[in-house]
């Protein structure tokens, strides 16, 4: 993250450029309402994040004259955690004993994805913070989706494709393989990409300039912070409410129009469409295009697999020496594979038609189901924008 520029007077942090007692040299500690650490601050002076004190931004408007001038300085995630851990550090105690402190050997502070359970929702990070997916409650739905894709496809390529390659055309298995690859790729992109999560207030406090970046992307200024409790205060204007902005009590942020709080992931998502347990992720501004491509690819894959199995089964029924055994085998195949494939095709076809209708009307799934539309606009052909999580920042 880049060092933040000077904040507006009513949004600035009170910070002290004192060296951290237990951390590396040159790392500043954080002043909470004029106190060096949480132990000397009055009760309620800092908001808690996972049991650790978090430095808050204090509004300059306190009713005294023209306000209190606040100083702005570069505060990194490392410095914030250093200030949080200074109160719990005792003489002779190793910094590595606290999960937020740097390792004694490397001196590195934790990344955002490592402390996400304290400052984020229920999403899980994979590949050391490079991928993000949904909560564990969607595991079996996701397994079901993969089974419907991999199972019939495996039967097609192992049993049917040799005959189709020799007797029909080699292009049929090749095209089916390409469609299968595209389906898997778009499923992984939908499942493992940030749908457009709006960082919580507690996370915005820990990363320099994140509040301004969120304000720039959402078009909503950062909320003011109460001087006594260090809690953000909702100050929505009538114009913002007419535009569809809402205050989220869980994330302590102002949601822009078309955004919503996902109860499954426990995060606010930009241009929230819906939470899909089968892809184990929310579908929002940054992965809606991947989700739409996944639906189209899955529909094409289903038709290709059904067509190939039907051609192979027709050949098997005509050339089976023992007709009784052949018909039993064919009926078993039709029941074991035909029913799941029929359900898959009907479901995907219905979803594809529904989302095509939504794209043409400029609506999201949530807007179509609830009937609450603040502003209309494109949902598919829009810029994804950059991720606001910065999972690998320190």
% helix, strand, coil for the chain, step of 5: 45, 10, 45
Provide the pLDDT for residue 33.
37
- pTM, two decimals, is 0.73
Tell me the two tokens of residue 179: 């469609």
User: Model confidence over 160-187: pLDDT tens digits?
Assistant: 999 999 999 999 999 999 999 999 999 9
Q: Give catalytic status of residue 160 as yes or no.
A: no
Kindly tell me the burial class for residue 173, based on how many C-beta atoms sit within 10 Å of its own C-beta (0-12, 13-18, 19 or more): buried
**Angle 240-197-355 from CA coordinates, rounded to 5°:** 85
Name the catalytic one among 276, 282, 360, 381.
276
Predicted local confidence at residue 7, as pLDDT: 39
What per-residue confidence (pLDDT) applies to 101?
55
Angle in degrees, CA 313, 172, 301, rounded to 5? 80
d(CA 37, CA 86): 7
Torsion, CA 183, CA 185, CA 190, CA 196, rounded to 10: -140
- What stretches in the chain show pLDDT beneath 50? 1-76, 78-80, 82-84, 86-99, 322-323, 325
Cα–Cα distance, 385 to 280 (Å, whole number): 21
Question: What backbone torsions phi and psi does residue 283 show, to the nearest 5 degrees?
Answer: -115, 115
SS3 18: coil
Please state the domain extents for the chain: 112-195+284-370, 197-268
**Helix 288-319, helix 323-333: angle, nearest 10:** 170
């Amino acid at each position: 993250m880049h060092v933040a520029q000077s904040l507006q007077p009513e949004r600035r942090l009170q910070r002290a450029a004192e060296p951290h007692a237990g951390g590396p040299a040159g790392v500043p500690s954080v002043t909470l309402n004029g106190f060096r650490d949480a132990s000397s601050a009055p009760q309620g002076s800092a908001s808690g994040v996972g049991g650790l004190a978090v430095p808050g931004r204090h509004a300059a408007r306190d009713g005294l004259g023209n306000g209190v001038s606040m100083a702005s300085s570069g505060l990194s995630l490392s410095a914030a955690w250093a200030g949080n851990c200074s109160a719990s550090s005792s003489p002779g105690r190793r910094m590595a004993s606290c999960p937020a402190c740097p390792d004694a050997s490397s001196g590195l502070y934790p990344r955002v994805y490592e402390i996400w359970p304290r400052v984020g929702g229920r999403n899980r990070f994979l590949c050391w913070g490079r991928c993000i997916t949904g909560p564990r409650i969607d595991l079996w739905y996701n397994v079901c989706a993969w089974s419907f894709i991999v199972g019939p496809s495996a039967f097609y390529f192992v049993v049917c494709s040799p005959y189709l390659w020799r007797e029909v055309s080699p292009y049929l298995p090749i095209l089916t393989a390409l469609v299968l690859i595209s389906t898997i790729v778009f499923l992984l992109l939908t499942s493992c990409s940030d749908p457009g999560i709006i960082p919580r207030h507690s996370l915005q406090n820990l990363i320099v300039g994140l509040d301004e970046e969120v304000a720039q992307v959402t078009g909503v200024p950062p909320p003011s912070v109460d001087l006594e409790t260090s809690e953000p205060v909702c100050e929505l204007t009538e114009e913002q409410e007419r535009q569809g902005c809402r205050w989220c009590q869980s994330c302590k942020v102002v949601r822009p129009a078309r955004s919503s709080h996902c109860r499954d992931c426990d995060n606010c998502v930009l241009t929230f469409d819906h939470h899909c347990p089968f892809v184990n992720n929310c579908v929002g501004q940054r992965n809606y295009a991947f989700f739409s491509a996944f639906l189209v690819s899955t529909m094409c894959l289903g038709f290709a697999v059904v067509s190939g199995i039907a051609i192979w089964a027709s050949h098997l029924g005509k050339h089976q020496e023992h007709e009784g055994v052949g018909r039993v085998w064919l009926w078993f195949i039709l029941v074991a594979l035909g029913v799941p494939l029929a359900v898959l095709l009907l479901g995907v076809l219905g979803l594809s038609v529904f989302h095509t209708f939504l794209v043409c009307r400029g609506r999201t799934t949530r807007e179509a189901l609830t009937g609450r539309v603040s502003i209309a606009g494109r949902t598919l052909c829009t810029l994804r924008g950059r991720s606001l999580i910065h999972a690998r920042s320190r």
